[in-house]
Amino acid sequence: MREIRVLGDPVLRTPAEPVEGFDRELRRLIDEMFQAMYAVDGVGLAGPQIGVSRRLFVYDISGRKGHVVNPTLTVDDPEEILDEEGCLSVPDRSTGRPQFAPVARAAGVTVEGLDRLQRPVRVKARGSLARCFQHEAEHLDGKLYVDRLPKSQARKILFQV
């Protein structure tokens, strides 16, 4: 099983490259990403989080499950909603569990991209699914949720990693 990369691994801070090959290897990678995500009770996982610097993510949250390859994200409703957010790649050193903090995210988004068979994917999302899409899309740009926090709060969380 693929290991979840944690803060300090350079792959998490490097913008991911587009996926070019839609083949058996990609299908296997997506299956492995779901397996890794479920193994740690996650709801979303981006390629860089398992050390694969490719633009794709998987999700299973709020009764919605899927994957998006080479996603683009559009904000449909810019109203910011403040809610608790954590990340598998930013665990507490003592517990190994994600650390949570309130993060403001857009209320509604649309993600577009391709599926494993190179068919178009378009998903409109609100609530926790919209939050998940924004979180995973930022991973593909080399960003983490702690980058959105006030410096003092981010330092407190980073001290625990």
Contact 86, 2 (CB under 8 A): no
Mean pLDDT, rounded, for 98-119: 97
Mean pLDDT, rounded, for 8-25: 97
Q: What is the CATH number of domain 10-159?
A: 3.90.45.10
CB-based contacts of 150, cutoff 8 Å, min separation 6? none
Is residue 31 classed as helix, strand or coil in its secondary structure? helix
Ranges of each domain in the chain: 10-159
Contact 54, 108 (CB under 8 A): no
Global pTM reads: 0.95
Backbone angle region of 148, left / alpha / beta, with phi > 0 → left and psi within -120 to 50 → alpha = alpha
Contact 76, 87 (CB under 8 A): no
| Catalytic residue list | 136
pLDDT, tens only, 69-106: 999 999 999 999 999 999 999 999 888 899 999 999 99
